[in-house]
């Protein structure tokens, strides 16, 4: 990817933004291209000159440049890329940005508990992956500010439009709309965590017809005469098959080989409309459970997923397909870390309003998706040439700086390295040693490496423009 292609990438993501004036769109594209080269949470960290910073602040503060138009442009671009794939996984997850608002005049809301007094914005994000688990991009984001005050306890008497559930439904609806317009032949898998084990969400997924996998949160009552419960029914079923899972050590978790037992059954669940105080028609769904048995250390909780799906499960391979699909959902957790507090540090932003903050966060979401893509591609497709993802100036700066910092036993070739090798060198310049994690480079060291080479890449670009680059 050369410098023109980075600008092309920014244009692809945001060049279609309808902002009322082509100059505003050009400003947005320029800001995104710069953010790709120098990702950071604050505007003054991304842009080098006072003119660039002032232009960025003017754009973010301009009410004519709506946050909705910026989000729409990014979502449409991601949907067009989905058209290149026969099948995509859409991982949807909720979260929040913790932001500073000491004067309480920025239009932010409460996050977390009222006792903690957290301030920021709530968001639901749809993050798209291809069939190999490689990030494609951000398909949609729904933003809102939660009002301050005591927690409401009247949720059963409110309609769905009066609940935060409506933002989840709007997110799935926008995903369907964009893909129907730009990638109508692409098969969709919706992957959702336990927050979506709600009547409105489940019925919406069922009625839309796309394949879905939702992690179950409740031991629901079945629509059987004897009023059995889901867990009782599931554990009465014989195991379909079992496999061994390598579990890494973590907080309150011992490294081990876990014996995972898979069970599946078809059930009809009772869902209640609590607003009308009545039971809705039985909700038929397939349940796939994978649970650790016989290898859980004393005092630890067994590893277990209980998944609700409309995917037809007739064999062990079908059950594994559902489990493997849901396993890719965790990529959105990595995206959130890269976006919020890792490589992009969007929570460091100190903008003075909800609209400017949403616009800036959307720009940085596109940058975070690129970093995640670099990370995953370097692991899953290590032999790709590095110039597929890095600009010509980034690549040359990386090679020159790596030669200056190489080990005595290393030889840095003049040819284009593989993506895996380039990302490893980039992370090394960002402080990666491999000793702390023992794993491959992560988002933070990749971002630090991009920061490290950014001035050299900018200088090479300027020299080339002036005809002084050899």
- pLDDT for 253-310, tens place per residue? 899 999 999 999 999 998 877 666 667 788 999 999 999 999 999 999 999 999 999 9
Q: Bigger pLDDT: 410 or 315?
A: 315
Q: CA 80 to CA 70: how far, in whole Å?
A: 16
In a domain, 370, yes or no: no
Q: CA 187 to CA 180: how far, in whole Å?
A: 10
In a domain, 172, yes or no: yes
**Residues 205 and 246 both lie in one domain:** yes
**Residues 22 and 75 both lie in one domain:** no
427: pLDDT strictly greater than 80? yes
**Residues 331 and 200 both lie in one domain:** yes
Residue 423's domain is classified under what CATH number? 1.10.740.10
**Residues 74 and 173 both lie in one domain:** yes
Predicted confidence at residue 441, as pLDDT, reads 83
Q: Bigger pLDDT: 382 or 243?
A: 243
**Residues 17 and 50 both lie in one domain:** yes
Predicted confidence at residue 128, as pLDDT, reads 97
Contacts of 89 by beta carbon, 8 Å cutoff, 6+ apart: 128, 129, 130, 131, 133, 189, 191, 325, 328, 329
**Residues 333 and 360 both lie in one domain:** no
164: pLDDT strictly greater than 50? yes
Residue that finishes a domain, picked among 331, 364, 397: 364
**Residues 51 and 91 both lie in one domain:** no
CA 54 to chain centre: 30
In a domain, 261, yes or no: yes
Residue that finishes a domain, picked among 285, 307, 340: 340
Q: Bigger pLDDT: 12 or 332?
A: 332
> Model confidence at 2, in pLDDT bands (50, 70, 90)?
very low
Contacts of 447 by beta carbon, 8 Å cutoff, 6+ apart: 39, 338, 342, 343, 344, 371, 430
In a domain, 263, yes or no: yes
**Residues 25 and 153 both lie in one domain:** no
> Model confidence at 157, in pLDDT bands (50, 70, 90)?
low
3: pLDDT strictly greater than 60? no
> Model confidence at 434, in pLDDT bands (50, 70, 90)?
confident
pLDDT digits (tens, 9 = 90+) for 106-130: 889 888 766 677 899 999 999 999 9
Number of domains in the chain: 3
Nearest Cα residue to 49 out of 65, 22, 30: 30
What percent of the chain is predicted at pLDDT more than 90?
Answer: 53
Residue 24's domain is classified under what CATH number? 1.10.246.40
In a domain, 371, yes or no: no
Which range of residues forms the domain containing residue 318? 68-340
Predicted confidence at residue 1, as pLDDT, reads 42
Give the gyration radius of the chain's Cα atoms: 24
93: pLDDT strictly greater than 90? yes
**Residues 326 and 297 both lie in one domain:** yes
In a domain, 348, yes or no: no
> Model confidence at 392, in pLDDT bands (50, 70, 90)?
confident
**Residues 61 and 142 both lie in one domain:** no
**Residues 257 and 292 both lie in one domain:** yes
In a domain, 375, yes or no: no
In a domain, 347, yes or no: no
**Residues 271 and 155 both lie in one domain:** yes
Q: Tokens 């423009």 belong to which residue?
A: 465
């Amino acid at each position: 990817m050369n410098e023109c292609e980075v600008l092309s990438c920014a244009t692809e993501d945001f060049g279609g933004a309808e902002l009322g004036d082509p100059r505003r769109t050009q400003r947005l594209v320029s800001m995104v291209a710069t953010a790709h080269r120098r990702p950071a949470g604050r505007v003054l960290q991304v842009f080098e000159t006072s003119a660039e910073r002032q232009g960025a602040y003017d754009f973010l503060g301009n009410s004519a440049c709506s946050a909705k138009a910026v989000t729409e442009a990014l979502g449409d671009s991601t949907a067009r890329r989905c058209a290149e794939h026969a099948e995509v996984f859409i991982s949807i997850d909720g979260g929040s940005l913790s932001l500073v608002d000491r004067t309480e005049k920025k239009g932010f809301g409460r996050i977390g508990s009222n006792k903690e007094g957290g301030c920021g914005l709530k968001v639901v994000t749809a993050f798209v992956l291809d069939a190999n688990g490689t990030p494609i991009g951000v398909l949609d984001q729904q933003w809102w500010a939660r009002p301050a005050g005591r927690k409401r306890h009247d949720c059963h008497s409110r309609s769905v439009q009066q609940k935060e559930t409506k933002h989840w439904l709007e997110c799935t609806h926008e995903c369907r709309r964009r893909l129907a317009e730009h990638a109508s032949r692409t098969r969709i898998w919706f992957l959702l965590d336990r927050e979506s084990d709600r009547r409105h969400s489940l019925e919406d997924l069922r009625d839309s017809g796309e394949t879905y996998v939702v992690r179950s949160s409740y031991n629901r009552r079945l629509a059987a005469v004897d009023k059995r419960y889901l867990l009782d029914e599931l554990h009465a079923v014989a195991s379909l098959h079992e496999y061994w899972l390598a579990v890494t050590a973590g907080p309150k978790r011992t490294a081990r080989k876990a014996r995972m037992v898979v069970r599946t059954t078809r059930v009809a669940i009772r869902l209640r409309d609590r607003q009308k105080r009545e039971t809705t028609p039985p909700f038929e769904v397939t349940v796939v459970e994978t649970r650790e048995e016989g290898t859980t250390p004393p005092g630890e909780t067994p590893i277990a997923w209980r998944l609700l799906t409309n995917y037809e499960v007739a064999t062990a391979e079908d059950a594994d397909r559902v489990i493997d699909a849901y396993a890719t959902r965790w990529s959105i957790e990595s995206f959130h870390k890269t976006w919020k507090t890792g490589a992009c540090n969007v929570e460091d932003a100190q903008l003075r309003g909800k609209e400017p903050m949403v616009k800036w966060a959307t720009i940085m979401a596109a940058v975070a998706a690129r970093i995640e893509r670099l990370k995953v591609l370097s692991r899953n497709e290590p032999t790709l040439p590095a110039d597929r993802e890095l600009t010509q100036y980034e690549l040359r700066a990386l090679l020159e700086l790596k030669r200056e910092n190489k080990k005595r036993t290393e030889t840095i070739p003049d040819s284009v390295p593989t993506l895996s090798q380039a990302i490893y060198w980039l992370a090394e310049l960002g402080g990666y040693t491999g000793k702390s994690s023992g794993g491959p480079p992560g988002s933070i060291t990749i971002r630090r490496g991009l920061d490290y080479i950014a001035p050299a890449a900018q200088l090479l670009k300027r020299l080339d423009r002036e005809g002084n680059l050899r």
